[in-house]
Structure 1
Amino acid sequence: MRTDIFARLDREPEPPKIEPPRMSRHRIALFGGTLAFYLAIVFAVLIGSWLVTLDWKVMLFRPYQQWPGIHAFLDYYVVLGQRGPTAVMVACWLGWRSWRQHTLRPLLTLGASLLLLNLTVGAVKLGLGRLGPHYATQIGSAELFAGGDIFPSGHTANAVVTWGILAYLATTPRARRYLSAVSAVVSLGVGLTTVYLGTHWLSDVLLGWAAGLLILLGLPWVEPLITRAEDWIFAVREQWRARGRAVPSVPVAAGGPRTVLVPQRAGSDATDEDPALEPVAAGSLTAVAAPAGTRPRAHTTHTVRSERTPITPVGSRRPPHADRTPRGGSSPARPMSGG
């Protein structure tokens, strides 16, 4: 049954090219309004306004003590805002879409959005250094510049971006509306869950929603870079494929015959030294196959035997002796001794 399903998927035609969203006037207006809301929250926390007072009231209310029955469920639900698990789940889905649609845009868009999220949210977290509710030191204080890293809420911003990217990459208007509603509910629930657990102030969650929404609204400005990155990756892939299709040179087998150049000489002397060589013109070089395991001879000039200096003198190698005579000569008669 599963084989038939996958075979049916493979027979589906390639989907049409999906045009990325453009930075329309409506989107620019939303981006500007969200940015103004973002800056207003930061300013309200910096001056210790009524928003900080509301943070303390919610924190002292201790929601996790008011409704302890849902604590166990919300401990698992808040995982939908953690960057690691959510990024893996969404990347698996977008990876399958990239394979089906023959494009890397879904995965590259997810990577670009997470990179922008880490840079923007991380910079504000470290810059303001706000402490969380469990580490607060003074009632009514904004707890800024104290070495913390919870403003804005990373869980909330990550939930907005990770689940909202599915709506951003939707192929139909109907799917975009449904996915937008789902991502809004998930991100809203994750933000309120962090307030319930006491890990974030209410203003942290508000700023996290605004930070994630700014990333989603500003993604069309990043689309040209995503297109260039996709074209470069495909160009590199084609270069690798071209290298793989190139015919490599045939190497000489180990232990096989090698062709070497051996000098040949005219006359009978050449055939006397090596009967396998035929006499050719003097001074010419002929390619001869050398057997395996032999080293080629050096190109040196050989002299004829008649021109060589003998190594030993002609005659007997024994030193002369007074009592000895050459072999084959007559020797004097030895006296016979007798009794």
Structure 2
Amino acid sequence: MRTDIFARLDREPEPPKIEAPRMSRHRIALFGGTLAFYLAIVSAVLVTSWLVALDWKVMLFRPYQQWPELHAFLDYYVVLGQRGPTAVMVACWLGWRSWRQHTLRPLLVLGTSLLLLNVTVGAVKLGLGRLGPHYATQIGSAEMFAGGDIFPSGHTANAVVTWGILAYLATTPRARRYLSALSATVSLGVGLTTVYIGTHWLSDVLLGWAAGLLILLALPWFEPLIARTEAWVFALREQWRARRAGARPGPATGIGPQPVLLPQPAGTESITAEPAGPPAGPVLTGAHPAPGARARAHTRPGGAPAAAPAGVRRPPPHTERGPRAAGSPARPMTGG
């Protein structure tokens, strides 16, 4: 009886074929425009342009003091941009979809996007080393290369990618439109919430939106790798099933009795016990052994008689025994 998770999948009807998005010209144009915007934000902060001055104005305005009644709600709302909780929620939903649709693609797409997010955003964070508003040291400074890790905003980029995956994996145009609007609203709110609380500059949020959108737009380039990975995983599953089926014990097969070598004294030939079977030669019907008749005894070297066990081959006559005289009377047969 199969107990693996795919046992129920094989009883479900096969879903329609879901085609992965392709890197169209429209998507390539959006990717190029978003990349240009990304580089423009980084350049504007590096040269301490008007964008840095806007960052300081928003920070000194202190939105959390202007609207304190929103603080309690936004402290919980910003969790929608934290990588751990959002990844678990979305992974549960996509895992159920993978189970129903007989495919690992939703989970593999989520894993690929989160891996790209960690590598690209993490590398830029550590490379630029910008300090956050609460740790700023000089008014009007960009606070770059000071050991920080807040540029771009990880909460914002994670919200764009995690919730945008739902729209990317949608199976109908209508669902894609609704989920795109939902993910855009959530990611926009998460980014502005970090500015309200004071954990990020406004430019951090702008760069986080661009970073997350770049990952979503680049996912079709990784679809062939995702397909190969899925095929490899299913091939491993089939090999494991084959090994598991081969390890089950088969039906017992009958093995015939083997000859047993009996120990013999030195100077005599070995006597091999054979399985009991029908007697060789013709059988005399009507001849019965007399009561108390004993089996013919064998003579060992030295004259010691020994009874031959039942089913044991008689040894050949000894060479030192002379031939029987021609005139000797024949021994009468018992029971004749």
Given the two structures, how large is their TM-score scaled by the length of structure 2? 0.75
Pair 1:235 & 2:235 matched: yes
Aligned CA distance change for structure 1 residues 152 and 251 (closer, same or farther; 3 Å): same
Shift of 1:250: 5.9
Distance, in Å, in 1 between the alignment partners of 2:110 and 2:76 is 24
Q: For the residues of structure 2 that align with 1:79 and 1:63, how far apart are their CA atoms? A: 19
Q: How many pairs align?
A: 270
One-letter identity of the residue aligned with 2:176 = R
Partner of 1:41: 41
In 2, Cα distance between equivalents of 1:215 and 1:31: 9
Q: 2:292 — aligned with what?
A: none
The residue that corresponds to 1:96 in the other structure is: 96
Aligned to 2:261: 263
- In the TM superposition, 1:8-27 aligns within 5 A as 13-27=13-27
SS class of match (1:18): coil
The question of whether the paired residues in 1 share the 8 Å contact of 2:298 and 2:308 is answered with: no
1:280 CA drift (Å): 2.2
Q: Once superposed, what is the RMSD of the aligned Cα atoms? A: 2.7
**Offset from partner CA, 1:191-240 (integer Å, 9 cap, x none):** 00000000000000000000000000000000000000000000000111
Structure 2 CA distance for aligned equivalents of residues 54 and 23 of structure 1: 36
For 2:306 and 2:219, the matched residues in 1 are separated by: 88
Deviation readout 1:13-47 (Å, 9 max, x if unpaired): 43211000000000000000000000000000000
Q: How does 1:146-185 map to 2 (within 5 A)?
A: 146-185=146-185
**2:124/2:151 contact within 8 Å kept:** yes
Checking the alignment, whether the CA contact within 8 Å between 2:12 and 2:100 is kept in structure 1 is no
Q: Percent identity?
A: 81
Partners of 2:298 and 2:178 lie apart in 1 by 99
| Cα distance change on mapping 1:249 and 1:13 into 2, 3 Å | closer
- Distance in 2, matches of 1:206 and 1:177, equals 23
The equivalent residue for 2:313 is: 280
Which amino acid is 1:38 matched to?
Y
Q: Distance in 1 between matches of 2:232 and 2:46?
A: 44
Structure 2 CA distance for partners of 1:279 and 1:88, relative to 1, 3 Å: same
CA change 1:66–1:282 in 2 (3 A) is: farther
Post-superposition offset of 1:279: 1.8
Could you tell me which residue of structure 1 aligns to residue 6 of structure 2?
Answer: none
- Read off the aligned partner of 2:244 and give its amino acid letter: G
Amino acid at match of 2:127: G
Partner residue, 1:197: 197
Query: Alpha carbons of 1:19 and 1:281: their partners in 2 closer, same or farther (altered >3 Å)?
Result: farther
Any conservation in 2 of the 1:268–1:279 contact (CA below 8 Å)? no
Give the secondary structure class of the aligned counterpart of 1:23: coil
C-alpha displacement at 1:244, in angstroms? 1.6
- Tell me the distance in 1 between the aligned counterparts of 2:45 and 2:24: 32
SS of match in other structure, 2:260: strand
Shift of 1:274: 9.2
Aligned equivalents of 1:273, 1:140: Cα separation in 2: 118
Per the alignment, residue 219 of structure 1 pairs with 219
Superposed CA offset, 1:101-150 (max 9, x none): 00000000000000000000000000000000000111111111111100
State the Cα distance separating 1:156 from its structure 2 match: 0.1
- What is the SS of the residue equivalent to 2:23? coil
Q: Which amino acid aligns with 1:141?
A: S
- Residue number in structure 2 paired with 1:80: 80
| One-letter amino acid matched to 2:67 | W
Q: Structure 1 stretches of 5 or more lacking a match?
A: 1-8, 253-257, 284-339
Which secondary structure state, in structure 2, belongs to the residue aligned with residue 151 of structure 1?
A: coil
**Which TM-score applies when normalising by structure 1?**
0.74
CA deviation profile, 1:274-304 (whole Å, cap 9, x unmatched): 95x6322669xxxxxxxxxxxxxxxxxxxxx
Contact kept in structure 1, 2:134 and 2:199, CA below 8 Å: yes
Aligned mates of 2:308, 2:74 — CA distance in 1: 95
Partner of 1:115: 115
Partner amino acid for 1:241?
R
Comparing 79-88 with 10-19, which one deviates more in the overlay?
10-19
Q: 1:273 to 1:142 in 2, by over 3 A?
A: farther
**Counterpart-to-counterpart distance in 1, 2:48 and 2:18:** 47
Separation in structure 1 between the aligned mates of residue 129 and residue 16 of structure 2, nearest angstrom:
47
For the residue of structure 1 that corresponds to 2:19, the secondary structure is coil
Cross-structure match for 2:245: 245
